[in-house]
Structure formats: C-alpha cells, structure tokens
C-alpha cells in the first residue's frame, strides 16, 4: 500500500469582462495509483499578468484572449475605484 500525493490542473475557465483566467487544481491522494481523496483550490490569473500565466502554464490562453486594449481597460478600471 503506497500513498502518494499529486496536484493536477483540472479545469481552466475564462471569467469576467476582462477575461481573467481561473485555474482549478485538484490535490489528490492516491493509494497504489488510485485516487482515494481529493480537494480543490482555485487561482485567478488577472488580465495582463503574464508572469502568473507562465507560472500556471496558461500563457497560450492568455496570448489568445488578452489584447493590448483589454489590458489597458483592465488597468484603467483598477486605477479608478468605482463610486457607489
């Protein structure tokens, strides 16, 4: 009976008007190669954050969905807080 642990990228989604990339990881415990337990965690790669895109292996998706105009619009949206 050998127990091992692995972290697997299990889902990638494009969310919000600024096309943030949401990555879901499955943290799995395996017994003799069979998953006996898993839990999930999510990471959001914000529009324009190419370092995080590289870290989470989603750079190709980022290149496909983020334009210079979209990145500029996102940066402008976070520079000026909304007034309620």
> Sign of the C-alpha dihedral, residues 39, 45, 51, 57?
positive
Q: Is residue 74 part of a domain?
A: yes
At 22, phi and psi to the nearest 5?
A: -100, 125
Q: Distance (Å, rounded) from C-alpha 67 to C-alpha 70?
A: 5
- DSSP-derived secondary structure for 37-77: EEEEEEEEE-TT-HHHHHHTT-HHHHHHH--HHHHHHHHHH
Q: Is residue 69 part of a domain?
A: yes
Q: Is residue 84 part of a domain?
A: no
Question: Structure pTM?
Answer: 0.86
**How confident is the model over 28-70, as pLDDT tens digits?**
999 999 999 999 999 999 999 999 999 999 999 999 999 999 9
Q: Is residue 51 part of a domain?
A: yes
Number of domains in the chain: 1
Q: Which domain holds residue 22?
A: 3-79
Q: What's 67's DSSP letter?
A: -
Give the model's confidence band at 7: pLDDT under 50 very low, under 70 low, under 90 confident, else very high: very high
Give the model's confidence band at 80: pLDDT under 50 very low, under 70 low, under 90 confident, else very high: confident
């Amino acid at each position: 009976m050998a127990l091992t642990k692995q972290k697997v990228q299990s889902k990638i989604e494009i969310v919000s008007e600024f096309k943030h990339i949401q990555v879901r990881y499955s943290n799995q415990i395996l017994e003799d190669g069979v998953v006996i337990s898993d839990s999930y965690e999510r990471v959001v790669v914000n529009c324009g954050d190419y370092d995080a895109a590289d870290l989470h292996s989603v750079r190709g998706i980022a290149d496909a969905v983020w334009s210079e105009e979209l990145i500029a619009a996102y940066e402008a949206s976070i520079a000026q807080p909304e007034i309620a």
